[in-house]
């Protein structure tokens, strides 16, 4: 990976596995009355954004993302009533409240979830819905091994004594905390659950291809390009030494799904 930006091709390599939690999340949205407008915060390539809009018949859609590469991919799905814009989802607000806010695997990159959730819910129209999914697997070797590699040379000299922290470990709250926050912010009967997604990979090493499109990107933003491949190789070695070479490999991926709506 020669760029510090997100790589849509790498991220989309496991598109089907990444989509499963999204659609499980969508099943929790109350669709007893029409949803006319939606904001997808952290829309990525926009494929799931437009698929959801088509499924629910949503008229007005905006997707927000901070990655130029992801937005370039998303623009292929744009039309008059479906816009994709660059922005900071943590600070996002709208002059026209929306009926649905979706944030799929994006909130974990943001600090201070209580403040961000309060801000997002304030952008909902009366009766508006919110649906959020975050990974919760910071204790898995797929995450801990990259942190271990970052503390060694030649990477530690560049990354310094405090390498980029794991956003999942730093930012994601316990499921019950999210339930409390959503209730405090006016969400009626919030649905929050921790779910394990058993992802069967061809081998343990295949996990490297998964994480280089997500968790490892924080290191690529700091390391010079000539150290990217070396970091991935060292991470692969660390992961195989920790987990062992398994074919196939069951990658147990924990995620938190939360959804609810404001009173009408």
How far apart are the C-alpha atoms of 126 and 99, rounded to whole Å?
8
pLDDT attached to residue 157 = 95
pLDDT surpasses 90 at 60: yes
Kindly report which listed range (4-8, 35-39, 148-152, 196-200) carries the lowest average pLDDT score.
4-8
115-122: list long-range contacts, CB under 8 Å, 24+ apart.
Answer: 116/90, 117/178, 117/181, 117/182, 117/185, 118/185, 119/90, 119/91, 119/92, 119/93, 120/41, 120/92, 121/182, 121/185, 121/186, 121/187, 121/262, 122/93
Q: Judge if pTM exceeds 0.75.
A: yes
pLDDT surpasses 80 at 107: yes
pLDDT attached to residue 63 = 97
How far apart are the C-alpha atoms of 67 and 73, rounded to whole Å?
10
pLDDT surpasses 70 at 161: yes
pLDDT surpasses 80 at 2: no
Helix, strand or coil, per DSSP, at residue 256: strand
pLDDT tens column, 182-234: 999 999 999 999 999 999 999 999 999 989 888 899 999 999 999 999 999 99
pLDDT attached to residue 3 = 38
195: tokens are: 């779910």
pLDDT tens column, 18-39: 789 999 999 999 999 999 999 9
Integer-rounded Cα Rg, in Å, for the chain is 19
The more confident residue out of 91 and 214 is 91
Average pLDDT, the chain: 92
As a whole number, mean pLDDT of residues 65-77 equals: 91
Cβ neighbours around 123 below 10 Å, total: 18
Q: What percent of the chain has pLDDT over 70?
A: 94
């Amino acid at each position: 990976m020669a760029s510090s930006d997100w790589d849509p091709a790498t991220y989309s390599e496991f598109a089907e596995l990444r989509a499963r939690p999204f659609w499980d999340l969508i099943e929790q949205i109350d669709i007893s009355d029409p949803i006319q407008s939606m904001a997808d915060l952290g829309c990525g390539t926009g494929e799931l954004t437009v698929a959801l809009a088509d499924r629910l018949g949503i008229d007005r859609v905006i997707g927000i993302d901070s990655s130029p590469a992801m937005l370039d991919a998303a623009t292929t799905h744009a039309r008059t009533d479906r816009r994709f814009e660059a922005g900071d989802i943590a600070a996002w607000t709208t002059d026209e409240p929306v009926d649905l806010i979706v944030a799929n695997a994006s909130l974990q990159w943001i600090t201070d979830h209580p403040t961000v959730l309060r801000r997002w819910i304030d952008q909902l129209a009366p009766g508006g819905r919110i649906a959020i999914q975050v990974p919760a697997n910071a204790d898995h070797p797929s995450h801990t091994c990259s942190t271990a590699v970052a503390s060694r040379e030649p990477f530690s000299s560049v990354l310094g004594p405090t390498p980029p922290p794991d956003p999942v470990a730093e930012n994601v709250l316990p499921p019950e905390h999210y339930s409390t926050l959503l209730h405090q912010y006016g969400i009626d009967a919030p649905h929050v659950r921790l779910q394990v997604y058993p992802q069967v990979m061809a081998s343990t090493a295949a996990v490297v291809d998964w994480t280089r499109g997500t968790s490892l990107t924080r290191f690529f933003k700091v390391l010079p390009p000539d150290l990217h491949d070396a970091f991935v190789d060292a991470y692969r070695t660390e992961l195989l030494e920790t987990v062992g070479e398994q074919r196939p490999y069951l990658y147990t991926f924990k995620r938190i799904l939360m959804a609810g709506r404001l009173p009408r």
